[in-house]
Structure 1
Amino acid sequence: MSLRTRPHPFTRAEHPVATEFGIVTAALVGVYLWRELVGELLPTVFGSPPVPGGLLVAGLVNGGVLLAGLAVFVGAYAALRGIDIGLRLPTAADLPVAALAMLTPVLLVALTKLAGLATGVPYGSLTKTSVAADAPVLPVLSVAALGLVLGVPALVLVCQVLVQGSFTAVVDADAAVALTTLMTGFVMVSSTGRLATVPDPGRLVGAVVLALSLAVALYASDRIDRDRLRYLGYVPVLVFGAIVVLSGVVAIESVAGGLYAATQLAVLGVAAYAYDRSGSILVPALAYAGLLLANRIVVVVFEAGIRGW
């Protein structure tokens, strides 16, 4: 058995997608660590909010610092990698894809709500959010506005610039859209099932494990000349993929829950498609804003006072 069937080791030129996956995963780890740093430092510097109203101010400060640092990090990453961020206004030719980006989340949320009505599943039980029936209007609107102002830019920076921009450098546009949808669908969905502004830590650990397993498998494929041993290198990757698929299926408890999960993935896919077709970060932002607004409207307008979890 030869252990050196090729004169060179695993390189980016040989496996560009796998290498790019590792680079993107490392960058996402950096995003997560920045969020953790902000969460640790700001309370130490400013202390805890002394009054209930201070929670909103604290959220604005915390989110603002997080978003500013994220913009600097992603901007530097894009400059280093030669990624076009897309800081341009959409044109008239982009109106169809902009309409698609705006309408898709609204229609899917409405469909999920209808399925929930038919099967007795409150929409708030899916989003893990609720609003009291007598809740003051101003705080509710303020929280919704804060989520839009901070959440939408963060999602665009991470999903489109960092992830999609990276994959676009090594594959064609359609493949980059598919890879972006799959990767962000895995790491950017929180434990509550909603889109997260930064990678979910548990999913991020999974992405790191997958990147390492894939690297080992490809390295073994390149360096070992016996088919049986080469194939064994792919076993961890296949097992990981099976676990992810099965755990996702098991987590779906209802038709509405399945539609809700599909909505998150669909919005990520539409955002990636819209970014590719328009070249503007404003168009995918419409998809994320539409989803956040639709979620909030359903819970506040149609389910105030209901808590289903």
Structure 2
Amino acid sequence: MSSSIDTLPDQLDVSIPPESRELGRLSLFFVCITLTTVGAYWASLRLRGVPVVDVLSSPGIAGLALPTLAYARFRGIDLSPTRPRPADVGTTLAVVALPLLALVATTIGTPLVFGTSFAAAVGSTYHPQASFLTALSQWAESTILTGVGYGVLTATVFELLRSRASMPTKHAVVFTAGLGVFFDGMLRGSAYTVVVFPKQWRLALFGILLVSTVAGGVSLGLFYRSVLERSIRVLYRPLFVPVFALGLILIVAFAALFADVPDGFEHVLWALAFGSAAYGYDQTKSVVVPVVVLSLFGLSVPVSHFFELAVF
């Protein structure tokens, strides 16, 4: 039996490279934390008015940070919350400042080039009489808690890509940025949409979401290995045609997030924030850095929109 399997041609080979295995596992994990995030959001609505419980049940903590920490521990990843060393202060400031400066540049440049404010382009609205301090207090809680979850997720994804998929640092940073935007800009929204569908459709829609997401991760890993080897041998497998088909649909849908100008700038900025957070974690080995980067960036987005709409 083993000798016949060894002689199978490449097109019948069902083995996949480590990049595909890890991206497939991460895709499955992303679907799981999407469900926990939606569940925590539902719980936070039910428990609104109980401050301690409400914070613990927030989508950023109970829905994202805690499940991600549990998964990291299960995979053997140590995410100890140590502070950056004094020698890392410059790197930390740089990765914090980069997405913020890009946000400022986008906010200034969008009305000059496109004739509309960046806030209006992405659909941000505020009451004309809204108090900035009141709005800031509301933004701070949600964005900081979400930033904690996103920071932990960024560090976990980067570590798994580096240690399990053996990706070079630059490649792991790029993939982490893309996966972060995929989760923030596409997967979570799809899960919230599934929840509002009639009950008889939810299971089928969740199955489609699960299968297409995992297929997208596996396909992306195969494409990546093909580029590294500069050969289509890895892709020439008829048995993987259904996987490629679903994966390609998902990848095209993800790319469409960036196609709309200037609306897509928001996703580009988040990709830069996730990438900066991943690079900062790599340089400092402190999960505090991606938490700070993504918390401050997440808070800066509504703040910039508020002032932009007040001016324009």
TM-score (structure 1 length as normaliser): 0.73
State the distance in 2 between where 1:79 and 1:281 align.
Answer: 14
Query: 2:297 corresponds to which letter in structure 1?
Result: L
Map 1:252-267 onto structure 2 (within 5 A).
252-254=259-261, 256-267=262-273
State the distance in 2 between where 1:157 and 1:241 align.
Answer: 28
Query: 2:293 corresponds to which letter in structure 1?
Result: A
- C-alpha RMSD over aligned residues: 3.9
Distance 1:70 1:249, change over 3 A: closer
Q: Conserved in 1, the CA contact under 8 Å of 2:77 and 2:159?
A: yes
Distance 1:16 1:108, change over 3 A: same
2:302 corresponding residue in structure 1: 296
Q: Conserved in 1, the CA contact under 8 Å of 2:37 and 2:63?
A: no
1:149 corresponding residue in structure 2: 144
> Once superposed, which parts of structure 1, at least 4 consecutive aligned residues long, lie more than 6 Å away?
56-59, 214-217
2:20 corresponding residue in structure 1: 18
Map 1:87-106 onto structure 2 (within 5 A).
87-106=81-100
1:248 corresponding residue in structure 2: 255
2:228 corresponding residue in structure 1: none
1:175 corresponding residue in structure 2: 171
State the distance in 1 between where 2:148 and 2:257 align.
Answer: 32
1:186 corresponding residue in structure 2: 182
Distance 1:286 1:72, change over 3 A: closer
State the distance in 2 between where 1:233 and 1:33 align.
Answer: 30
Give 3-state SS (helix, strand or coil) of 1:38's partner: helix
Q: Conserved in 2, the CA contact under 8 Å of 1:101 and 1:271?
A: yes
2:5 corresponding residue in structure 1: 4
Q: Conserved in 2, the CA contact under 8 Å of 1:131 and 1:299?
A: no
Query: 1:270 corresponds to which letter in structure 2?
Result: S
Q: Conserved in 2, the CA contact under 8 Å of 1:187 and 1:207?
A: no
1:278 aligns with 2:284: yes
Query: 1:67 corresponds to which letter in structure 2?
Result: I
State the distance in 1 between where 2:294 and 2:235 align.
Answer: 45
Cα deviations by residue, 1:138-168 (Å, 9 ceiling, x for unpaired): 430221211232111011122222x222212
| Aligned sequence identity (%) | 20
Q: Conserved in 1, the CA contact under 8 Å of 2:180 and 2:274?
A: yes
Q: Conserved in 1, the CA contact under 8 Å of 2:99 and 2:297?
A: yes
Query: 2:255 corresponds to which letter in structure 1?
Result: G
1:38 corresponding residue in structure 2: 40
Shift of the alpha carbon at 1:10?
5.1
Query: 2:21 corresponds to which letter in structure 1?
Result: T
TM-score (structure 2 length as normaliser): 0.73
Structure 2 spans left out of the alignment, 5+ residues:
194-207, 224-232
The structure 2 residue matched to 1:121, chosen from 116, 128, 139, is 116
Distance 1:63 1:130, change over 3 A: farther
In terms of fraction of residues, the more helix-rich structure is 2
Query: 2:92 corresponds to which letter in structure 1?
Result: A
State the distance in 2 between where 1:133 and 1:150 align.
Answer: 27
1:75 aligns with 2:69: yes
